[in-house]
Structure 1
Amino acid sequence: MTPRGFDYSSYPQISGELFRAVQERGLFEDGKRFVDAELLASPDLVYERYLADRNEPAFDIHSFVDDHFRVPDPVAADPDLDPSRTMEAHVDALWDPLTREFGGDAALAKSDGGAEVDGPVGTNDSIGTNDSIGTNDSVEANGSFGAQSVREPRSTLVPLPNPHVVPGGRFRETYYWDSYFTIEGLAASDQLDLAAGMVENYVSLIDRFGFVPLGNRVYYDSRSQLPLFYRMLRVLERERGFEAVAPHVEALEAEYGFWMHGRDHLDASGGPRSHLRTVALPDGTVVNRYWDDRARPRPESYREDRALATAVPVEERPQLFRDVRAACESGWDFSSRWLTDGDDLASIRTTEIAPIDLNAVLFGAESALAEWLDRTDGCDGGDGGDGSDAAARYANAADRRRTAIESYFWDEDRGFYVDYCWTDEEPVDRLTLAGVVPLFTGAADPDRADAVAERLREDFLCPGGLVTTLSESGEQWDAPNGWAPLQWMAVEGLRRYDRDDLADEIADRWLELNRTAFEETGRMAEKYDVRSASIAANNGEYPLQYGFGWTNGIVAALSDST
């Protein structure tokens, strides 16, 4: 299933002459502040006033924005918490300040029962339907994106039915893959109702849009993130039993269909090798890649993308924009993992890579669907058969993907799982911590899992935990940085394959780093420098952020499990 996008012209914050003027003049150091702003009047009225006033000698764009938008503060204020608290008590006390309701905007009303909402309007803006790149995207019309009762949009937030935890800092909305790690922490903190409500939010997004957007903002309408919805359901199953999961299996099937949409267009024997998020390997097996349905600068990083594009010829810029957006869908924005030249972001080629983590996670989703559909009486698997027929199909799909992972994504010389470049028909010659995800989802061969463990100990283990990659590119998803979600997937994956010794060592080092940094700063950070065991991890597109949802979640989950 491929959703339509929003009509960006309804949102002066993310499209049109006013948007470009604000971003190109650099009114805000962080361009995300403007795309997150709330209109103080109707979009049509704001446009009308801007067009009427902009050529007047006394026109001042700063004053115009101040008069017509409520712009969020540069960084959300730190909550007023007791400085004498331990790290664990601090994390527990942060759940409430980081929780938002109904999209996180005070102007948003309830979105049920046909009530009016300051939310997005489903329209017919565009998405790409093939691998050809143009300056305008084409439309594949098979459903409305955001069909709901709304009045004119004032905010770029997409309303959600239940309270939810946001990361913090500049990230004022929910994020897909962040939320799984946050939910693990909520479960460990006896906040199960909040965790279950967040799962229901993602069910609502799938029901409305056919997939989970990267975040609940209009400008994230064309990309998702690492599809960890099935892992959220695993948390519910663990804490509340299969009865809590059964109503949501259909939503998981729908999300899986989004990732597999396009596979019928593939032909490994001479026809198209890729379509949307699907790729045909040389033997005909279908695997997946990251993608974005738009080939243009990101509204939230408009200046940065435009500046980057000056490094390539004009005709190559749409593909550059798509590869940048696809890297954002991966969550690893940015990393040498996606670059042909590890030090040059303009060499990005995300859509040419079949990532090991994405395919290992989809193996996990296929395995979960096979298990749960087999247990769901009367479920037809979405095509008229019975639940057992659907379960068998997903089990077969999981087997095929596991075989592909072992055949194409394994580096025998270095004993590690790696990405696969489908355009070059060879594994990518870079080791990254994404190689632990087959252990996390159970896709790894046991002997190879042991080899991965040894490689982690030899090359990735640092004083503060596991380093993200072995390259120092200056990008934030590279050395010397470490990230909470990767520590969690490594620890859980190693435990799954009975390598508790190394898992415990990683968890202890990561928790000690978090604790030391907290005692020095009173804060929890988005990422850390694991080589120097400090909080001073500041590479990337934006300054270091504090809060921080997934860091807090993994501190709580690791503390509960060690």
Structure 2
Amino acid sequence: MKLFVNKTKLIDQLLKQEDTTGSFTITVDDNGKKSFKIQTDKGNDIIIKGTYHLSNLLQEAALLKSETGIIEIKHVKEEPVSRLSRIIKDFYWDKLTRNFDKGNLLKILEDEKMKGEFLRLYVPETDKYALEFHKKNATEFKNVKIETIPENISKELITALNKKPGILSLAYSREKGLSIPFVVPGGRFNEMYGWDSYFIGLGLIIDDKFELAQAMIDNLEYQIIHYGKILNANRSYYLSRSQPPFFTSFLKTFYETYKNRITINWLTQKINTSLIEYFNVWMTEGIRLTPNGLNRYFGEGTGAPSETEQGHFDAIYKIFAKKHRLSLTEFKKQYKTGKVIDQDLDMYFIHDRSMRESGHDTTTRLDNCSADLNTVDLNSLLFKYENDIAYFIKTYFNDAFSYNGKIYSSKDWFEKANNRKALMIHFMWNDKNKCFYDYNYKNKRQQPFNSATNLYPLWCQLCSTQQAKDLVKGQLATFTYKGGIASTGLIKNLSKNMPNRQWDYPYGWAPHQMLIWEGLNNYGFINESQELIYRWLWLIVKTAVEYNGLIPEKFNVNTCTHKVNVEYGNVGTNFKYIPDGGFGWTNASYKMGIKHLNSKYIKHLNELVDPDIVFKKSL
């Protein structure tokens, strides 16, 4: 059956009757009739009942491209699991896709993060064709300035750019005469984020979005070549900060899936670029490589990060204001202008920038210590990076790859990985607690903090079989809650003056879920992986069913809600009629979870059966 409807009229009628909270959505928080009569194409009336089906009707109306159109009843009454899969594939990825073509330029440049009279787009001066393209597109916009970024990006330049921030351009196709598209994390974002892109890419590959996934890799490569690193995001104030190194992981998954559609020359170029990132970003001594041979995150730059919300650091500033016998307002002013110099506060911000480079912005685990830590997560990622390079060289290049005047074999890279593994076990493995901990190379001791990142060695297959068993037995329950994996264990004795950190307990994020599912599968813990997949998917589906299709950035996995009182809020929760693309890596985690979940659990998901009932007891 079908409905022939007037889009505006139907939306207005639905909201007037059902949206009692004034949210422009239909959710369990509304107290409407939960029943709506509408006529089908056959002339008979049909009654749509319940929050879920009414919100589907509202969404389908919003998706109509013209004022009058057809709504399929099967889509209104579609089961949640298949509906979410379809909506993500057919609509949400498109909603999150951006490009720098003329018709989209202002959409990208106009946001609350831009300051000053002009909207600035920075283009590498070495990319002559892109520069010409962007200058031509900007001619009709009087408030848009196209400026150049030199090949050698100095600390002084980055500092100067803080006074006139802007968006950094991404890859341009001279062949097509178009900028290459990219996918942003959520609807309110206009920039491409580093590690988000890897997880988003996995979702795109599952949905067979070949060209868009390839475009993401091209844009990551562009950043390495023109900006020196894969950036936290493509804004000028992120030029000093990278992100967790997932480039080879993305490349490997993509190439293994689509190698029949990709030339070996394409792969050669990408491997070469990955080596640039490896040596220039991660293996530079004194920056991200520490004297013990392991790595740290290190956000270069000075002062407070530009992207933080107003008042974010006030609890810290108050401590130093008291030290200098100044009011909070006066201290902030004098510190910012350089009238007050405090090396301890400078160091705090170096740690803070390093924490943000880790992607975990922010967490108690890395607060005021990040730059001193060889973290389990970073070194696990680099262990996999080294193994990935070895795999590519052995599998596709006859065990010989030329880079920077040297011929590398797979043995060279397996040796690098094995050396890192030995160092990680020596410095990070805690034999008493049977787990990995971050290692503070400055004070030469482990930091015994329970974080989901302690399980990364399962994902990169660094553990021995016994270590994997010990990790699962001793650590997994620490992070497992009704709705999935929490970022950390319960943290006691937190200062009430500090912000409620979004990468601490009880908040759960898609990347941790995905990495831990795969890590458990790597070592044969299939039952544990299935349970965790179900718990996370149940929370996503439950939220979408009860809240008008909502797919947020993160969840409280203990109370199982998207409603969180935490720094930076929760992206993806504010929209009218239909979610503005969901959230990139949450979308991807859903697609991955459904791909790997045993079919016997799908019926339970559609019926929203409590995971504690499905699995008899919690982990």
Q: What TM-score range do you get, normalising by the shorter chain?
A: 0.7 to 0.9
Shift of 1:328: 0.7
CA distance in 2, matches of 1:294, 1:530: 35
Q: Give the letter aligned to residue 320 of structure 1.
A: Y
Matched residue SS, 2:213: helix
Matched residue SS, 1:215: coil
Counting matched residue pairs gives 441
Moved more, 323-332 or 293-302: 293-302
Match of 1:454 in 2: 473
Q: Residues 387, 315 of structure 1: CA spacing in aligned structure 2 closer, same or farther, 3 A cutoff? A: closer
Shift of 1:289: 0.5
Q: Residues 481, 425 of structure 1: CA spacing in aligned structure 2 closer, same or farther, 3 A cutoff? A: same
Contact 1:259 1:278 in 2 (8 A): no
User: Is residue 222 of structure 1 aligned with residue 249 of structure 2?
Assistant: no
Matched residue SS, 1:280: coil
Q: Residues 543, 197 of structure 1: CA spacing in aligned structure 2 closer, same or farther, 3 A cutoff? A: closer
CA distance in 2, matches of 1:171, 1:551: 15
Match of 2:391 in 1: 371
Cα deviations by residue, 1:196-232 (Å, 9 ceiling, x for unpaired): 1111111111121221111111111000110101111
Match of 2:114 in 1: none
Contact 2:182 2:216 in 1 (8 A): yes
Contact 2:553 2:570 in 1 (8 A): no
Match of 1:311 in 2: 319
Shift of 1:252: 0.6
CA distance in 1, matches of 2:146, 2:594: 38
Q: Give the letter aligned to residue 539 of structure 1.
A: V
Any gaps of 5 or more consecutive residues in structure 2? 1-58, 65-74, 110-120, 135-144, 173-179, 324-341, 495-499, 574-581, 598-619
Contact 2:393 2:399 in 1 (8 A): no
Q: Of 406, 411, 414, which aligns to 1:395?
A: 414
User: Is residue 100 of structure 1 aligned with residue 122 of structure 2?
Assistant: no
Contact 1:295 1:319 in 2 (8 A): no
Higher strand share: 2
CA distance in 2, matches of 1:202, 1:215: 10
Q: Of 207, 213, 223, which aligns to 1:195?
A: 213
Match of 1:384 in 2: 405
Question: Superposed, which structure 2 residues align to 1:239-388 within 5 Å?
Answer: 239-241=257-259, 243=264, 245-263=267-285, 275-281=286-292, 286-301=293-308, 303-304=310-311, 307=314, 308-312=316-320, 314-339=342-367, 348-374=368-394, 375-376=396-397, 380-388=401-409
CA distance in 2, matches of 1:257, 1:392: 17
CA distance in 2, matches of 1:163, 1:112: 19
Q: Residues 137, 180 of structure 1: CA spacing in aligned structure 2 closer, same or farther, 3 A cutoff? A: closer
Contact 1:409 1:427 in 2 (8 A): yes
Shift of 1:491: 0.2
Match of 2:253 in 1: 235
Match of 2:434 in 1: 415
Q: Give the letter aligned to residue 222 of structure 2.
A: S
Contact 1:438 1:444 in 2 (8 A): yes
Matched residue SS, 2:132: coil
CA distance in 1, matches of 2:352, 2:514: 26
Cα deviations by residue, 1:389-434 (Å, 9 ceiling, x for unpaired): xx33222111110111111111222222221111121111111000
User: Is residue 550 of structure 1 aligned with residue 550 of structure 2?
Assistant: no
Q: Residues 306, 478 of structure 1: CA spacing in aligned structure 2 closer, same or farther, 3 A cutoff? A: closer
User: Is residue 445 of structure 1 aligned with residue 464 of structure 2?
Assistant: yes
Q: Give the letter aligned to residue 237 of structure 1.
A: Y
CA distance in 2, matches of 1:257, 1:197: 24
Moved more, 300-309 or 530-539: 300-309
Question: Superposed, which structure 2 residues align to 1:39-78 within 5 Å?
Answer: none
Q: Residues 330, 499 of structure 1: CA spacing in aligned structure 2 closer, same or farther, 3 A cutoff? A: same
Q: Residues 452, 306 of structure 1: CA spacing in aligned structure 2 closer, same or farther, 3 A cutoff? A: closer
Shift of 1:506: 0.5
Contact 2:158 2:239 in 1 (8 A): no
TM-score, normalised with respect to structure 1? 0.73
CA distance in 2, matches of 1:120, 1:176: 23
Q: Give the letter aligned to residue 467 of structure 2.
A: R
CA distance in 1, matches of 2:147, 2:274: 24
Matched residue SS, 2:273: helix
Shift of 1:262: 3.0
CA distance in 2, matches of 1:493, 1:380: 29
Moved more, 329-338 or 98-107: 98-107
CA distance in 1, matches of 2:441, 2:165: 42
User: Is residue 168 of structure 1 aligned with residue 179 of structure 2?
Assistant: no
Q: Residues 236, 316 of structure 1: CA spacing in aligned structure 2 closer, same or farther, 3 A cutoff? A: same
Q: Give the letter aligned to residue 561 of structure 1.
A: H
Q: Of 487, 503, 521, which aligns to 1:468?
A: 487
Cα deviations by residue, 1:19-60 (Å, 9 ceiling, x for unpaired): xxxxxxxxxxxxxxxxxxxxxxxxxxxxxxxxxxxxxxxxxx
CA distance in 1, matches of 2:208, 2:407: 37
Q: Residues 554, 81 of structure 1: CA spacing in aligned structure 2 closer, same or farther, 3 A cutoff? A: farther
Any gaps of 5 or more consecutive residues in structure 1? 1-77, 129-135, 140-144, 146-152, 264-274, 340-347
Q: Give the letter aligned to residue 232 of structure 1.
A: F
Shift of 1:443: 1.4
Moved more, 167-176 or 185-194: 167-176
Q: Residues 112, 555 of structure 1: CA spacing in aligned structure 2 closer, same or farther, 3 A cutoff? A: farther
Q: Of 497, 508, 517, which aligns to 2:543?
A: 517
User: Identity percentage over the alignment?
Assistant: 25
Q: Give the letter aligned to residue 562 of structure 2.
A: I
TM-score, normalised with respect to structure 2? 0.66
Matched residue SS, 2:514: helix
Q: Give the letter aligned to residue 189 of structure 1.
A: D
Shift of 1:112: 6.4
Contact 2:122 2:169 in 1 (8 A): no
Cα deviations by residue, 1:141-173 (Å, 9 ceiling, x for unpaired): xxxx9xxxxxxx994243333111111144221
Q: Residues 512, 119 of structure 1: CA spacing in aligned structure 2 closer, same or farther, 3 A cutoff? A: farther
Matched residue SS, 2:553: coil
Cα deviations by residue, 1:227-251 (Å, 9 ceiling, x for unpaired): 1011111111221138463331001
Considering only CA atoms, is the larger Rg found in Structure 1 or Structure 2? 2
Q: Residues 543, 189 of structure 1: CA spacing in aligned structure 2 closer, same or farther, 3 A cutoff? A: closer
Cα deviations by residue, 1:451-471 (Å, 9 ceiling, x for unpaired): 111234432211111111013
